[in-house]
Structure 1
Amino acid sequence: MDLKSIQDQPKDESNDIKDQMQILEEALTLCKFGRFHLRLLAATLCAAVSLMTVTTTTSYILPIAECDLKMNIMHKGLLNGMPFFGQIGASLFAGFLIDSFGRRIFLVGGNSIIFICTIIEGSSQSYIMLLLTKLLEGIAISLCFSAISSYLTELCHLQVRDRLLILYSGFISVALIIAALSAWVILPIEFNYSVLDGYFELHSWNLFLYFCSIWSLFAVVIYWSLPETPKYLLSHGREKEALEVLKGIYSENSGNKKDTFPVKSLNKSGTIKPTQEISLKKQMVTSLFEAKELFRKPLIFKLIIFSFIFFSGLIVFTSLRLWYPQLSTIVENYAKDNGGSARFCVMINEYMQNLNPAITNATESLECVPKLSGSETYMNGLILGFAALISVGISALLVDYFGQKVLMFGILILSSICSTVLYWTNAPLQIAILISCSCALLQAALCLQQNIFVRFFPTKLRALAVSIIIMIGRVGSLTGNIIFPILLNVGCMAPFILSAVIPLGIAILVYFLPNVSKDNKVTGDK
């Protein structure tokens, strides 16, 4: 790119057709990719691990804590789904606030709440206490989840945006690996600490939750050191502040002084427009009027398609991912008790038939013997994480060759095949690989869809649109976690038929998604 053509843009008649966002895209390109973006990626990694541990830790503590917390199979399903219930209640409101007041404040605030809640959660002495803190964590997730992807894309130039969004999805896979490793190291520890005559007790699962809180703390510290996005600032008439952010990024990446940044303004006049101070009331009213555009043609139809795909995909992905450690523990204990494995559904059906509530009253508390996870279960968790990481990595390599829509279609077909074959398997390693591949492929498909909808919606509506899609997706997550144990009671085959059919249906809907790489190639994201 010719730096002089940007610097002298008011004198160049060809630049008159450029709007502010086009000029901003060129300015971001001049900032290149460097140390600032490494800090941004570090914050994104910590936030991804923080958010994933909120939903993933529960699945690892279910077997070991079932006696301490007096849980039966339905209690476990409700505990798995509670963070998603919290997100459903707050996502829509959070998206509106993020679009109105910025991304950074909610990334710092949301992760701060998660840190506090995880500490309280680690101190839980009852099922109700753990359930309520999971609900609060779900609300906190809604404050920052949709802001993460918006914040990441709005601080990177167009040429690296798709790859960084896929890298963000890779961080989610890394989070699964970190959760499995942490559980493997901490949960097998025989730790029982009691004070106040047993009123306050700590076990290894409490220590596990304490450890998981450090990621949200890291995210708070790093996000605190980062600025608001120039796209958000510019879209709200704060051009001077947006230009200062760009100068800071340019200086940190290049090592040059801020004054040497070639772009002197972000509008066609060539002079910086003064920021117009508006009241909180006017800002809220303006945001409400802007939000109406999301529910008009053509955005409303795309919003419905995106939401339905996300809802359907998360029914399968979340239920498989969160119930996987419990299923793996069932398979592992069956092999120990019977001297070998059987067909997958035979092992699951036997467990369901012999299942009784862990504790029915106080007199039976001494008889509760939890089915503890062994090393095989944690190893399977690592397989799941690495499979997801490989799947996302391959998608990142192939997306430029096949395009997002074609690649997404192929991935969904493969995921359906893996879920179908699972019914006839009997070897624990085969079961681990097929479930891991089903989850990993679904994650890659949802990642590709997220790349599309984050870039499709305009900046002023992006966080709200993402929050609506995520909110409806979380309804799917909650639905999946509640119906999964119900379907297991009906029979092992039922949930896995669902896991095979849903990806096929989503693959058909991929045809109706927009092609943002083609549509936004010249002008950049809206």
Structure 2
Amino acid sequence: MGDAMDNANHKNDKTAATLDEAMLLSGFGIYNIIHMLMSGLILMGMIMHCLVLGYVIPAAQCDLELTTQQKGWLSALPFTAIILTSYFWGWLADTKGRRTAMLGSMFLAVIISAISSFAPNLTSFAVLQFVSAIFMTGPSAVVYTFLGEFHNLRHRDKMVTLGSAFIGIGTIVLPCLSWLILPQNFSFYLEFLDIYYRPWRLLVVACTIPFALATIFLFFAPESPKFLYSSGRHEECLEVLRIIYAANNFKPKDSFIVKSLIAENQVTNSNKGRGITGVLSSMKEQTLPIFKPPLLPWICLTCFVQFGVFSATNGFYIWFPTILNALGSQESVNMKICDVIELTRNKAAADALNNTTIICDDTIYTSTFERSIYVGLVFFSMYLIVAVLVDFVGKKFILVVTLTITGICAISANLVYDQQIAVVLFAIFQMSGACVGLTNAVAVQLFPTKYRGMAVCLAMLSGRTGSMVGSYLIGLFLDINCGAGFYLFGGLLVVNGLTCLTLPNMKKEKVPETIATAPKDTQEP
């Protein structure tokens, strides 16, 4: 009887609301779009930071005297750093705040990455890239949670998908930047470092620009209202909602109808204990419930899907410029991808056997940049398609269909003899990367706020592990059995797609009843 009266009072009192209700009443407009663009810029900077080595390594192989083995572990280095530190960043995001975990780490990632462009040798370059990747890890996973928690129930899935589309934009901008910079012939000698500052070093710096801009924008952004709410900081949360309302509706903050937030039981304890013992205890508290029912099946599924998607997309993309460069160096177009790669390898082996003088060649062919841009455009288009369809067919259907089809295309890419068709199939294969943001959107809905940041970070940790494993194995397969890489990771994507059939139907959350009866002037524009 008492609960019924409380519900009736809540329905009649529009000044008190839950967070989801208050976010719906704050509207949707310019603030949400700007926040999505800022988060997208972070994701764009993140993917460019991870994948730039795919273009740097072929261009720097003479300056750094890289062997094939060194190229393999160097390309996997950023993902290794992410694997080692993702857990810490997930804990920090859930206990200290999303913005806190991201801001300082982004600034340091930009600075250290720029410094790495002056590295005089392979060891110093690898160390600086590794340290930079450690700080880049902070925003790489937290940003998905930060992005989703600023949008209401009606628009959350679409905005997370649109923000994730900047990953696709990054895969277009990266080859464009590389095409603009790498063919240049400048070489400035820096005596104090005993190096020649060549185009590949400038490319490393250029790829930090999106991260640098996003860091400036994030400095002026507030903390996630969902985190503030779950931490019991209701007044701070309400102030953020007032700012969103004022920007979206072009009205004074004081006119926001919600004056207080209804407390829920979920409160994050961010100050339990002190020192290393307190940190470890807090990490344990944030993690163990995720690996117990009812959350255990979902963390296993999201980690498995992210592992498969990252290993297939990032793992292959790191080597994609090398593969395309091999295709560009051969005149015949009626050869399978792996036949061309094996021909190039056998020629190099024959030269070495015959004691032929081998001149280091760091030329990157124009066709490599052109085809990379085409793949990026296809990749980006998939994000837009997903953003349009997600509200109509749901996340589960898109995951199952996309992962299955792209996996089949990966297997087929090495079975055709026409290079143009092979590149098209490879481009479709890379579209599986659009499932990263979608899987994180699923995680945001599956896990409660208290564990959401940690769950997404663990899933992304699994994904980065996939990137490291994928980049290493693909480099190995290119040397011993090229086709196995296409078949293995294509098959893994198909299995990922079938696994997603076990997901619950990810329908859009029901809009609270109180919203339907809200005054007309507080409805979303």
- In 1, distance between residues paired with 2:475 and 2:269? 55
d(CA) in 2 for partners of 1:357, 1:209? 34
| 2:44 pairs with 1:52 | no
Matched, 1:381 2:366: no
Q: CA deviation at 1:46?
A: 2.0
Task: Say whether the 8 Å CA contact 1:71–1:357 is kept in structure 2.
Answer: no
User: Does the CA-based 8 Å contact 1:72-1:357 persist in structure 2?
Assistant: no
Q: Matches of 1:226 and 1:186 in 2, distance apart?
A: 33
Per-residue deviation, 1:14: 5.3
8 Å CA contact retained: 1:310, 1:473: yes
Cα offset for 1:294? 1.6
- Determine if contact 1:231/1:242 at 8 Å carries over to the other structure: yes
Q: Deviations over 1:433-455 (max 9, x none)?
A: 11111011x11233322221122
Equivalent residue number for residue 517 of structure 2? none
2:388 to 370, 380, 397: 397
Percent of counterpart pairs with the same letter? 25
Distance 1:202 1:403, change over 3 A: same
Residues 1:318 and 2:310 are matched in the alignment = no
Cα pair distance change 1:406/1:39, threshold 3 Å: closer
Gapped runs of 5+ residues in structure 2? Answer: 514-525
Residue number in structure 1 paired with 2:257 = 262
Q: CA deviation at 1:107?
A: 1.8
Aligned to 1:182: 177
2:117 is the alignment partner of 1:122: yes
CA displacement 1:450-507 (0-9 Å, x = unmatched): 2211221111111111111111221111111111121122222111111321112112
Q: Are the counterparts in 2 of residues 146 and 470 from structure 1 also a CA contact under 8 Å?
A: yes
Seen in structure 2, the aligned counterparts of structure 1 residues 423 and 233 have a Cα distance that, compared at 3 Å, is: same
* Alignment-derived partner of residue 347 in structure 2: 354
1:357 is displaced (CA, Å) by: 13
Q: Which residue matches 1:428?
A: 419
Query: Structure 2 length as normaliser, TM-score?
Result: 0.88
Unaligned runs of 5+ in 1: 1-8, 270-274
Per-residue Cα deviation, 1:351-402 (whole angstroms, up to 9, x for no partner): 222346999xxxx9x9532242122111111111110111121122222332
1:213 and 2:208 aligned: yes
8 Å CA contact 2:118–2:197 kept in 1: the answer is yes
Whether 1:294 aligns to 2:285 is: no
CA contact (8 A) 1:310 1:446 kept: yes
- SS of the residue aligned with 1:155? coil
| 3-state SS, counterpart of residue 330 of structure 2 | helix
- Residue 445 of structure 1 corresponds to which residue in structure 2? 435
- 1:163 and 2:152 matched: no
Deviations 1:392-430 (A, max 9, x none): 211222223322212221112211221222123233322
In structure 2, distance between residues paired with 1:193 and 1:492: 38
Partner residue of 2:79 out of 73, 77, 84: 84
Query: Which residue is equivalent to 2:521?
Result: none
Aligned length: 499
How far did residue 288 of structure 1 move?
A: 4.5
Partner AA of 2:72 in structure 1: G
CA contact (8 A) 1:54 1:134 kept: no
How far residue 280 of structure 1 moved from its aligned partner, in angstroms, is 6.2
* 8 Å Cα contact 2:272/2:282 also seen in 1: no
2:327 maps to which of 331, 355, 373: 331
CA drift at 1:17:
13
Taking the aligned partners of 1:169 and 1:355, their CA distance within structure 2 comes to: 41
Who is 2:510 aligned against?
Answer: 521
Counterparts of 1:33 and 1:250, CA distance in 2: 8
Output the aligned Cα RMSD. Answer: 2.9
| Contact 2:158/2:390, CA 8 A, preserved across alignment | no
Alpha-carbon contact 2:51-2:318 (below 8 Å) kept: yes
Q: Quick one: distance in 2 between partners of 1:234 and 1:353? A: 62
How far 1:210 moved relative to its partner? 1.5
* Maintained 8 Å contact 2:36/2:160: no
CA distance in 2, matches of 1:523, 1:402: 22
Change in 2 beyond 3 A, CA 1:130/1:514: farther
2:445 paired residue number = 455
Aligned to 1:496: 486
Instruction: Give the aligned residue type for 1:45.
Output: G
Supply the distance in 1 between the matched residues of 2:54 and 2:424 (Cα, whole angstroms).
Answer: 18
Distance in 2 separating the partners of 1:165 and 1:198: 44
- Amino acid of the structure 1 residue aligned with 2:484: A
* Contact 1:352/1:488, CA 8 A, preserved across alignment: no
- AA aligned to 1:324 is F
Task: Give the secondary-structure state (helix, strand or coil) at the position aligned to 1:334.
Answer: coil
Q: Please, what TM-score do these two structures have when normalized by structure 1?
A: 0.88
Deviations 1:119-143 (A, max 9, x none): 1121122111221122112211221
Cα distance in 2 for residues equivalent to 1:501 and 1:255: 51
Equivalent residues of 1:315, 1:479 under 8 A apart: yes
